Amino acid sequence: MKMKRGVIFLWSIFACQSLHATLPERSVSPSHQFIIYGADVVLRGVVSDLAEQTKTNLLALLRQRDGWKIPVVINLQPQQAHLPEIPSAELHFSQTGFGPKLQLDLTVSQDLDASLMERELLRAILLEMIYRKQPNIAPGTVLVQPPDWLLDGVLALTPGRDRGSLVEALSTADKTLPLEEFLGKRPELLDSAGRLLYRAYSFALVQLLIEGPDGHARMSRYIDNLSNASNDPLADLKAQFPVLASSPEKVWRSAVARLSSGEDYQLLTFAESERRLDELLRIKVPGMSKSADLSGFVRQKPSAAEKAALKQLSQALLLFVWKVNPVLRPVAREYQQIATLLARGKRGRVATRLARLQVTRQKLAARMSDIDDYMNWFEATQMESGSGNFTNYLKAADQSLRSAPKRRDPLSVYLDSLADQFED
């Protein structure tokens, strides 16, 4: 009996070792969502890092925490010469005994486009977000894919990404494509120039949506509801984003025009933002000789003309948020929210909010002035080489001193003679 137990024990050890030897090598990402099979450990590590960074960038854009529930299996397979029809990337969805599973098959070759891999990883991450609350999906169910404009727009907004080519593509376009027509485009059917323009439009749309009122949270809800999307993508967007509710085409054309002009590509300085904000807050109401400010609408309900002016201000502030200096961005957003409330006749606590905003702006202006003074002092006394910002001023001051008539009193003559001796 003991002999049989020993044989069984040894056989089980050999069987486990044999099974372990036949299992393919794999790597698990730090968040444990991505399980990578195939290739070598170095390439699996690179893919793991890219997947985690892609997810981190998306979560930062949405301002959400990582709450994944469906694992993503990434299968790295080498390119086979006798099977050229195998796609470079293919995403599969299946049901297992432990729940749904996403599998991304990536064909590894020497000319593999890293941007394509990043795009497909983002597609898998978004698909997991769409269906993480639906664990009992029937096998064979046709999944709703995240729209291509969402993929391209999110990638364009990745920190550190060069967007110069996208801005240039918009600036050289003959005319702005209508939003509804753009949403119906299929980018895989476009040539390289058309594909670049599609990416530029995607960048403009995603930026427009997330910079709107409560845009980051609304984008998260939009992604969550994509599984129930209708056949009208514009209607789905209007239902989630108030910025497109009333006149979507007008807002869309304005956003594209601002981006294509390069105004939104460069952020305003703090002083420029302050000046522009003051200009926007001087509200011009038809029929009134003087401009009004928001505090003037707190005491009584606005008239029809005043409501129209407040709505126009709200829209202008919404677009202004795109390019305002980041220090003043929360202030501009709150002004936009207040203008929206006043246009609807809601005045509760608006006076308190306006007073608080005014104090905040004064504190920010004082702090930014202190920072400027410190930076000027640092450049003048601590830096080995100057920035050149004050060169023209110093030249003008020197010329002014040289051109000034010399004083002939005894003290001035004595000081001039000492200066000449030191120069020699």
Cα 313 to Cα 130, 278, 279, 294, 398: the distances in Å are 35, 12, 11, 10, 47
Element (H, E) at 91: strand 89-96
Q: Which residues contact 187 (CB under 8 A, 6 or more apart)?
A: 148, 152, 194, 195, 198
Check residue 340 and give its pLDDT. 87
In this prediction, residue 15 has a pLDDT band, given cuts at 50, 70 and 90, of very low
Do 211 and 323 touch, CB atoms closer than 8 A?
no
Q: What are the structural domain ranges in the chain?
A: 12-141, 147-265, 270-381, 399-423
> Which range in 205-209, 267-271, 403-407 is most confidently predicted, on average pLDDT?
205-209
Rounded CA-CA distance 358/379 in Å is 32
**Which is higher by pLDDT, 200 or 86?**
200
In this prediction, residue 211 has a pLDDT band, given cuts at 50, 70 and 90, of confident
For the ranges 337-346, 371-380, 388-397, which has the lowest average pLDDT? 388-397
Check residue 161 and give its pLDDT. 75
For the ranges 62-71, 159-168, 212-221, which has the lowest average pLDDT? 159-168
In this prediction, residue 160 has a pLDDT band, given cuts at 50, 70 and 90, of low
**Which is higher by pLDDT, 261 or 51?**
51
Over residues 96-109, the mean pLDDT reads: 80
Check residue 23 and give its pLDDT. 54
**Which is higher by pLDDT, 131 or 416?**
131
**Whether residue 83 has pLDDT greater than 50:** yes
- Collapsing DSSP to helix, strand or coil, 152 comes out as helix
Q: Which amino acid is at 71?
A: P
In percent, how much of the chain has pLDDT > 90?
36
In this prediction, residue 292 has a pLDDT band, given cuts at 50, 70 and 90, of confident
Q: Which amino acid is at 50?
A: L
Rounded CA-CA distance 302/286 in Å is 13
In this prediction, residue 213 has a pLDDT band, given cuts at 50, 70 and 90, of confident
**Which is higher by pLDDT, 397 or 275?**
275
Rounded CA-CA distance 173/121 in Å is 30
Check residue 2 and give its pLDDT. 46
> Which range in 3-7, 182-186, 383-387 is most confidently predicted, on average pLDDT?
182-186
**Which is higher by pLDDT, 171 or 289?**
171
> Which range in 105-119, 268-282, 376-390 is most confidently predicted, on average pLDDT?
268-282
DSSP string covering 305-359, please? Answer: HHHHHHHHHHHHHHHHTTTS-GGGHHHHHHHHHHHHHHHTT--TTHHHHHHHHHH
Check residue 407 and give its pLDDT. 73
For the ranges 170-184, 250-264, 307-321, 381-395, which has the lowest average pLDDT? 381-395
Rounded CA-CA distance 86/365 in Å is 60
**Whether residue 141 has pLDDT greater than 70:** yes
Rounded CA-CA distance 57/204 in Å is 18
Rounded CA-CA distance 60/309 in Å is 35
Rounded CA-CA distance 258/254 in Å is 6
CATH code matching the domain that covers 12-141, chosen among 1.10.10, 3.40.30, 3.20.20, 3.30.710: 3.40.30
For the ranges 94-98, 238-242, 369-373, which has the lowest average pLDDT? 94-98
Check residue 21 and give its pLDDT. 44
In this prediction, residue 385 has a pLDDT band, given cuts at 50, 70 and 90, of low
Q: Which residues contact 78 (CB under 8 A, 6 or more apart)?
A: 38, 39, 107, 108, 109
Among 140, 118, 142, 117, which residue's Cα sits nearest to residue 130? 142
Rounded CA-CA distance 236/113 in Å is 32
Over residues 234-261, the mean pLDDT reads: 89
Given strand 89-96, what is the order of strands in its sheet? 26-28, 34-37, 72-78, 99-108, 89-96
**Whether residue 408 has pLDDT greater than 80:** no
Average pLDDT of the chain is 83
Q: Is the dihedral of CA 328, 331, 335, 336 positive or negative?
A: positive
**What class, spelled out in words, does domain 147-265 have in CATH?**
mainly alpha
In this prediction, residue 357 has a pLDDT band, given cuts at 50, 70 and 90, of very high
Rounded CA-CA distance 189/77 in Å is 26
Among 137, 142, 199, which residue's Cα sits nearest to residue 168? 199
